Amino acid sequence: MVISIGAAAFWIALAAVMIASGYFKLRREAQKQQTLLRLMERTGQLDEQQVKLLFPPPPAYSPHERPWWAAPPDPLAGQRAMRVGGLIVTALAAGIAVLSFALRYGTVNQQDVAQPWLGVAGLLGCLGLGLLVASLFATGPARKDGRD
């Protein structure tokens, strides 16, 4: 198994950042505990305001408020996604087609490479246009009054 030096350096750097982040988080919590211990030694009692400053309570969760990940989906999100995907795929197809046409005027090897890519560009173009047309027919939720 061959691992390049660049890949190894990346993973080592990533591990170092994660270890340092964990260390600093633990250190911050230990300093809070030390501060609380010193306050307790100095005064003999805990001041509720000081404790709340050091350790803020977690935010209150109401069962009626949904978190962002449990919110109802946007009814037109699929239509929007198809339009964006269709535009991206169509633009990619156009770029591949332009590059393939440019390569057709190159050397013999470049001309041989350009032919299959013209087919790929055609397939991607059809896929992109299909997504754009399908987005026109995508609808949101049904209306409550029964009309379309």
Distance, in Å, from the CA atom of 81 to the CA atom of 73, rounded to the nearest integer, reads 13
Q: Which residue is it, tokens 């080592």?
A: 12
What is the predicted pLDDT for the residue at 72?
Answer: 75
Tokens (6 digits) for 146: 């029964």
* Any domain includes 22: yes
Q: Mean pLDDT across the stretch 75-95?
A: 92
DSSP at 3: -
Q: Looking at the domain assignment, is residue 65 inside a domain? A: no
Split into its structural domains, the chain has a count of 2
Distance CA 92, CA 100 (A): 12
Higher per-residue pLDDT: 84 or 109: 84
State the residue range of the domain holding 18. Answer: 5-59
pLDDT score recorded for residue 133: 93
**Start-to-end C-alpha separation, the chain:** 60
pLDDT(144) > 70: no
146 inside domain: no
Residue 38 is predicted with a pLDDT of 85
DSSP state of 4: -
- Domain assignment present for residue 106? The answer is yes
Looking at per-residue pLDDT, the higher value among 134 and 148 belongs to 134
- Average pLDDT on 92-113 reads 90
Using 50, 70 and 90 to split pLDDT, how confident is the model at 106? confident
Question: What is the identity of the amino acid at 69?
Answer: W
Closest residue by Cα to residue 131 from 94, 97, 84, 73: 84
